[in-house]
Structure 1
């Protein structure tokens, strides 16, 4: 059994392409370029529209992900919309999840332009509807998956968060019963000072130095939040038949500093496989996420993984960097999110391939 078959609760298929491990491969030249442009897609957010903000090189668009033993088909908007016809799919996560959904919107708009159905005051929770296919797409914003509160000290935000592992963030929890597909992703908010609570007890922390509380690190904190979220999904009595896919960790590529100390990402070509580090924290995060999905699957509901970590470790060239036009954070580079169009579009190639492999529900 191949790696990605082990991650999905699917029946064995006879076709060779269905046995292919989609997630191990390399980026190979592809001069067809992107399936859309920054001007042909009207839904690109300003901060991901890298060409609008002065990026000149376009070579980073001329690569495609090639699994080792098969080909990954280019995204087919018609096929995707046929699969999700009459369904509701939600992305649950942070701004990188939003980046993913923006890529999907650009790709789907080639077949049907969606209707904006809802936008909250902070432009975090969104709903789009594709009336021809009766398909609803949602963005459900959450920083930590579980309930979290930022401490206020002397009337000001502190950047210190308390997370409550006994309850999920209600922003997505209350929507769960109405969903057919969930794409779950989170990680980057955990790189800050955090205290983890179970009931009335503080059980661990991140980036802290407090007596009688153990600093367990980022991976542990994210594991506990993902475990709580997956447990909540497994216990949802109105969620029978729902498919939950967890998108693995999306690496940043800061060089010569972090986001607030002059770090940048100016490369214009992918890395080869031998140049990436599969022993670093990014791979540790990804391994943990796969473990938690395997643990959740034993409870019986339908879980799987969109494993993007290895592919994206090779793409230091795909971030906005200095070309994101943020007037509030001038001088900082964005090496976390991804340009549109750009290598993030492969996440939706992979997503469609996985949806095609799922058995049809009775």
Structure 2
């Protein structure tokens, strides 16, 4: 929407929500299923983002599936993108009459493990996919002087699944929260470029190096005439209520 600043606004109550009934979607991982885990309040289901100076059209899942017909929509990142991917799958699924025509390609039912997942919407010949990559660059193992292996983060190599989604029609990336974990935040003997392991590197500098690696990969491998790329920002902690 031209001229619409969607990033400044407030959450408001909207009784036309939620976009699918709570507890109706079987594709939410158990730790994130509020209904299954007995969350007593429901007010959060009625919240809608309202920009200060404009309105956002309500998501129409049938219209979105038509727009996705014959296309691939891919999320790449950490649990923030995974949660958004699961929610979108559930929203789109709810609009499909024959739910048997919406399924994960490999038949898996849990999505917390490493790897990738692809939900197929067969009536529309489209897929909505997730590739787990909390850093967007490669988690690595390198041998040290005593012969043991050491975990490092290769700031100079994009994550290894990238060839599988570089030709998708839409790719939504995110990273950020994992950079606050202890070993990444401390940055001691963890970050690697080439054969060099930094004895100490500030996490902000490491994050910057990783994003440069990612952006150069985008420039060199993704066709902007075919693929739309989006980058989502940093998330607040989702391990406790605030």
What TM-score results when the alignment is normalised by the length of structure 2?
A: 0.82
2:174 counterpart of 1:185:
yes
- Name the structure 2 match of 1:168: 158
The separation in 2 between residues aligned to 1:35 and 1:232, in whole angstroms, is 36
Q: Is the 8 A contact 1:233 1:239 kept in 2?
A: no
2:56 counterpart of 1:43:
no
Q: Is the 8 A contact 2:114 2:132 kept in 1?
A: no
Count of aligned positions? 226
1:222 deviation in Å? 2.4
SS at match of 2:38: coil
Distance 1:225 1:123, change over 3 A: closer
Q: Is the 8 A contact 1:148 1:163 kept in 2?
A: yes
Q: 1:215 aligns with which of 169, 181, 201?
A: 201
Moved over 3 A (4+): 119-124, 150-153, 237-240
C-alpha deviations, 1:232-274, integer Å up to 9, x for none?
1110166642111011111116xxxxx6xxxx42xxxxxxxxx
- Name the structure 1 match of 2:53: 69
Distance 1:202 1:25, change over 3 A: same
C-alpha deviations, 1:208-234, integer Å up to 9, x for none?
xxxxx44312x3322222221121111
**Structure 2 unmatched runs, 5+:** 185-189
1:138 deviation in Å? 1.5
SS at match of 1:175: helix
- Name the structure 2 match of 1:270: none
Q: Is the 8 A contact 2:141 2:152 kept in 1?
A: yes
**Structure 1 unmatched runs, 5+:** 1-16, 204-212, 254-258, 266-315, 317-362
Structure 1 or 2: larger strand share?
2
C-alpha deviations, 1:134-160, integer Å up to 9, x for none?
11121111132111126799xxxx9x7
2:204 counterpart of 1:229:
no
Distance 1:237 1:47, change over 3 A: closer
2:103 counterpart of 1:115:
yes
* Higher RCO, Cα 8 Å, sep 6+: 1
